[in-house]
Amino acid sequence: MTPDFPTPTLSQGCNGLQLEDVSLAAIAETYGTPTYVYSRRALVEAFSAYQRALAGRRALVCYAVKANSSLGVLSVFAQLGAGFDIVSGGELSRVLAAGGDAGKVVFSGVGKSRAEMRQALAAGIRCFNVESAAEIDRLNEVASELGKVAPIAFRVNPDVDPKTHPYISTGLKSNKFGVAFDTALELYRRAASLSHLRVSGIACHIGSQLLDPAPIAEAATKVLDLVDRLAAEGIALDHIDLGGGLGIRYRDEVPPTVTEYLGPLLKLLDGRTEEICFEPGRSLVGNAGLLLTRVEYLKPGEEKNFAIVDAAMNDLARPALYDAYHEVVAVQPRDVPARNYEIVGPICESGDFLAHDRSLAVEPGDLVALLSAGAYGMAMSSNYNTRPRAAEVMVDGQRVHLIRQRETVESLYALESPLS
């Protein structure tokens, strides 16, 4: 029986697990480990689910680049006509390098620098999602220096509880994100009076890994009410951006489908003329990727058995950071007894674990895959312990594209100099 993997294009083949038509063992052979492996088909299918749910509407899906900013991943979405939600000038550069359209870029984030504003204005982005009163003054100034007019939306904080992990909940009053709902009207009036701003839309994003459509519909109700109050004052918006946040299955979660998630929202939007935007990250890439790693050592213990693998918290930080769960599966079947293991990396930190208490039938040298690692995996990786970052490959049918070479150790200290 083929288990039902959260990574949809993963299956059991004759040479062990395969993603689309390529065996993971062959990928490890060619590219080494640890390696992030993505499925192009899974990316396309995830994006198409949004397109289908939004068919017949004036809508733009802006992929949230921070979830996975590899050029290979961005280029797949750019080819599908996606917009992009960025949070830094660096991400804007990546989007353009991957063939993305600046005219479909929205720029979120609480700390945009003047240099980032200049870069985004020069590129001609679609909208700045402004997160504070101070930011409109700075943006107006920078735009006026360049002789440009900056399109803006306020990211409002609708103060709804998304019922998710506190580190990824962003729409409560106590968060640093967005402008308080009751101050928004006043801020729009002020923005409308500034010469180098053009009020274009409104945005909100309440959190991540949302499994219930109710909070986002509640947020949308509040946002639409504000849009109508603005219109009554003669401030007409051309788009409504409801953020990202749809959750995925890591373990036994049952997230709504895109259609189920957007359904209640789209009902609220029926008959409206504004363009509707979304900023999904995790739900587009999370289940399209896995982290392929090799068992270095097995270390049986009195209380716990450890499987020490060649990936670590620097490659995949989510378990250490949020105590996140990733499914761990052996790539090739082994005729040895299954044991329960702590899956840990070589880093000198007790927090360096990838999974707890997993039953695996493996021997040293075997490959294992950590599933659902496409979002906030490579993007949050680091070089802690002078570990070169993993390679990244994109499977496309029977083909494999190396989309990021494994880093070399020399490159890690190329910008440093010892004292003479």
Ligand X SMILES: *Cc1c(COP(=O)(O)O)cnc(C)c1O
* Bind-site residues for pyridoxal 5'-phosphate: 245, 279-282, 376
The single residue of 14, 127, 204, 348 carrying the catalytic annotation is 348
In the complex with ligand X, the residue whose CB is nearer, 62 or 354, is 62
Q: Closest separation between CB of residue 125 and ligand X, Å?
A: 14
In the complex with ligand X, the residue whose CB is nearer, 208 or 287, is 208
Quote the CA–CA distance of 131 and 157 in Å, as a whole number: 9
Q: Closest separation between CB of residue 67 and ligand X, Å?
A: 5
Q: Active-site residue 348, yes or no?
A: yes
In the complex with ligand X, the residue whose CB is nearer, 51 or 385, is 51
Q: Which residues are annotated as a binding site?
A: 245, 279-282, 318, 322, 349, 376
Per-residue tokens: 155: 């990211």
CB 360 within 8 A of CB 338: yes
* Token pair 């590899």: residue: 70
What is the H or E stretch that residue 390 is in?
Answer: none
For the CA atoms of 377, 333, 363, 358, what is the dihedral angle to 10 degrees? Answer: 50
In the complex with ligand X, the residue whose CB is nearer, 193 or 259, is 259
Q: Closest separation between CB of residue 408 and ligand X, Å?
A: 30
CB 222 within 8 A of CB 158: yes
Q: Computed over its alpha carbons, how large is the radius of gyration of the chain?
A: 23
In the complex with ligand X, the residue whose CB is nearer, 67 or 120, is 67
In this structure, which amino acid lies at residue 151?
Answer: P
Q: Closest separation between CB of residue 5 and ligand X, Å?
A: 20
CB 81 within 8 A of CB 112: no
Q: Closest separation between CB of residue 41 and ligand X, Å?
A: 20
Which residues lie near ligand X (CB under 6 A)? 64, 66-67, 85, 108, 205, 208, 243-245, 279-283, 375
For the CA atoms of 230, 178, 172, 276, what is the dihedral angle to 10 degrees? Answer: 60
CB 292 within 8 A of CB 369: yes
* Token pair 């950071």: residue: 321
Q: Which residues are annotated as a binding site for substrate?
A: 282, 318, 322, 349, 376
Q: Which residue is nearest to ligand X (CB)?
A: 281
Residue positions annotated with a catalytic role: 348
